[in-house]
Amino acid sequence: MADHAVVWERNRKGTAGFGVILPPEVLDLLRRTVPRLADAVSPHLARWEKTCVSRNRERWMTATPPMAAIARSTLNRLLWRECDAQGVVLREREAPKLPALASSYDLVVCADGAGSQAHQAGFVTTVEEIGPPYAWLGTAQSLDTLTFLAESTVDGCYMAHAYPFSDSAGTFLVEGRRARTPTDLTALFGLPVRPDPARDNSVWRRFRERTVRSWSRGNIVLVGDSAHTVHYSIGSGTHLAFEDAVVLVESLAAAGSLHRALSLYEETRRPVVEQFQGLGRISAEWFSRVDDVFDLPLSRFAAGLLTRGGRFGRVGGTSTPP
Ligand SMILES: Cc1cc2nc3c(=O)[nH]c(=O)nc-3n(C[C@H](O)[C@H](O)[C@H](O)COP(=O)(O)OP(=O)(O)OC[C@H]3O[C@@H](n4cnc5c(N)ncnc54)[C@H](O)[C@@H]3O)c2cc1C
């Protein structure tokens, strides 16, 4: 049996992506568990405390709880640096099959994302498409805060969730009934929109919500998206993946046996994850039905958007005409 941690990653360089929202709770969690990583992440965060809703270029602003985002490439780089510092052995290639790993290692932590191979080891998974079709793009324009942009078209409303993740770049997640090119979207929203050359995120698709009946089998345990996905409109997947990892480590330290530790991990995490998945479904449904509320007065439209799924208790804002 091995006495060290080994990570297989087949795509260390290819995970550039755009930005990812990291709520303050994530930094608190890192500060408590891996303070050196928290110190490394903190200066790279783009932070904001207000939200802008722009509908047909008319803007409405409100103060919202503090939020932050980071470039995925930066987060990955800092995580790898921490792995190096902790003596983790990295194998930059396709992981062996789960059953082979299970017979060679004490514990196999399966963290291979939403397209996980877990079903090949007998995990029972369900995938449901939720929310409207979307594309995951970026914008080279500096945004100063989280901005929802809604524009009416002959095909109904196109809605973008845009936020800064550095001084000069932002994530631009866009939803609508029909696929549109980045050039069309640039004209529609008045922001320079670009695909990610390293990924196929610019392909329009619907979000795949993943649930798994039991998160462990023998000495294999699932964490992060391999165990559960949560609709992107509540920006929680990375947060939940970090929390899974922390609770797994704490459960291993607290329980007397591997079996008990893996049960404790799932007992602790499943109710939290299911609550987020419920919020994610409500949020996805709101964006699917945006055409029904598009013509409400802007303040009511914005309040509905920001309180969907109970995101924020009360909102009050100010409007700026187009
Ligand atoms: C459009 C969209 C927007 C999102 N926005 C946010 C957001 O703002 N905030 C947020 O918190 N979350 C967001 N998420 C969710 C977030 O991306 C995921 O929840 C998070 O990345 C999950 O982390 P993970 O480590 O479990 O999986 P991943 O990040 O998918 O990592 C899995 C890793 O496993 C590797 N891998 C897979 N199979 C193998 C194999 N066989 N061998 C070797 N390596 C393998 C992959 O290369 C990859 O690096 C968003 C998701 C989507 C779809």
How does DSSP assign 237-285, residue by residue?
HHHHHHHHHHHHHHHHHHSSSHHHHHHHHHHHHHHHHHHHHHHHHHHHH
**Is the predicted pLDDT of residue 312 greater than 70, yes or no?**
no
Q: What percent of the chain has pLDDT over 90?
A: 83
pLDDT for residue 2: 45
pLDDT 10s digits, 63-113: 999 999 999 889 999 999 999 999 999 999 999 999 999 999 999 999 999
pLDDT-derived band at 318, boundaries 50, 70, 90: low
**Is the predicted pLDDT of residue 208 greater than 70, yes or no?**
yes
* Strands 220-222, 108-110: pairing kind: parallel
**Is the predicted pLDDT of residue 3 greater than 70, yes or no?**
no
Cα 268 to ligand 1 centre (Å): 22
pLDDT for residue 1: 39
pLDDT for residue 230: 97
pLDDT for residue 142: 76
Least confident of 202-211, 277-286, 304-313: 304-313
**Is the predicted pLDDT of residue 311 greater than 90, yes or no?**
no
**Is the predicted pLDDT of residue 309 greater than 80, yes or no?**
no
**Is the predicted pLDDT of residue 199 greater than 90, yes or no?**
no
Sheet strands (E) in the chain = 6-8, 19-21, 46-55, 58-71, 89-91, 108-110, 125-139, 146-153, 156-164, 170-175, 193-194, 205-212, 216-217, 220-222, 317-320
**Residues contacting 300, CB < 8 A, separation 6+:** 293
* Residue (of 38, 28, 19) closest to 79 by Cα position: 38
**Is the predicted pLDDT of residue 164 greater than 50, yes or no?**
yes
> DSSP label at 116?
-
Six token digits for residue 322 = 């187009």
pLDDT-derived band at 222, boundaries 50, 70, 90: very high
**Is the predicted pLDDT of residue 197 greater than 70, yes or no?**
no
- What's the mean pLDDT in 187-211? 85
pLDDT for residue 320: 59
pLDDT for residue 223: 98
**Is the predicted pLDDT of residue 315 greater than 80, yes or no?**
no
**Is residue 139 helix, strand or coil?**
strand
Residue 22: CA count within 13 A, CB half-sphere: 25
Cα 41 to ligand 1 centre (Å): 18
- What's the mean pLDDT in 101-129? 96
User: Which ligand 1 atom is at minimum distance from the Cα of 134?
Assistant: 1
pLDDT for residue 313: 46
- What's the mean pLDDT in 207-220? 98
Is 305 within 8 Å of 315 (Cβ atoms)? no
Least confident of 107-111, 226-230, 233-237: 233-237
Top CATH class of 6-209+220-308 equals: alpha beta
Q: Is 173 in the pocket of ligand 1 (CB under 6 A)?
A: yes
Is 216 within 8 Å of 266 (Cβ atoms)? yes
For the chain, what are the domain ranges?
6-209+220-308
Rounded distance, CA 43 to CA 70, Å? 10
Closest protein CA for atom 35 of ligand 1? 112
Q: Is 238 in the pocket of ligand 1 (CB under 6 A)?
A: yes
Rounded distance, CA 51 to CA 54, Å? 10
Q: Is 113 in the pocket of ligand 1 (CB under 6 A)?
A: yes
Supply the mean pLDDT for the chain.
Answer: 91
> DSSP label at 228?
B
Rounded distance, CA 93 to CA 83, Å? 16
Q: Kindly calculate the radius of gyration of the chain based on its CA atoms and give it in whole angstroms.
A: 20
pLDDT-derived band at 201, boundaries 50, 70, 90: low
Q: What percent of the chain has pLDDT over 70?
A: 91
Closest protein CA for atom 15 of ligand 1? 237
* Residue (of 280, 130, 274) closest to 215 by Cα position: 274
The b/e string for 43-73 (b: 16+ C-beta within 10 A; e otherwise) is: ebbbebeebbbbbeeebbbbebeebbbbbbb
Instruction: Decide: residue 177, CB within 10 A, 0-12 exposed, 13-18 middle, 19+ buried.
Output: middle
What φ, ψ does residue 226 adopt, rounded to 5°? -70, -25
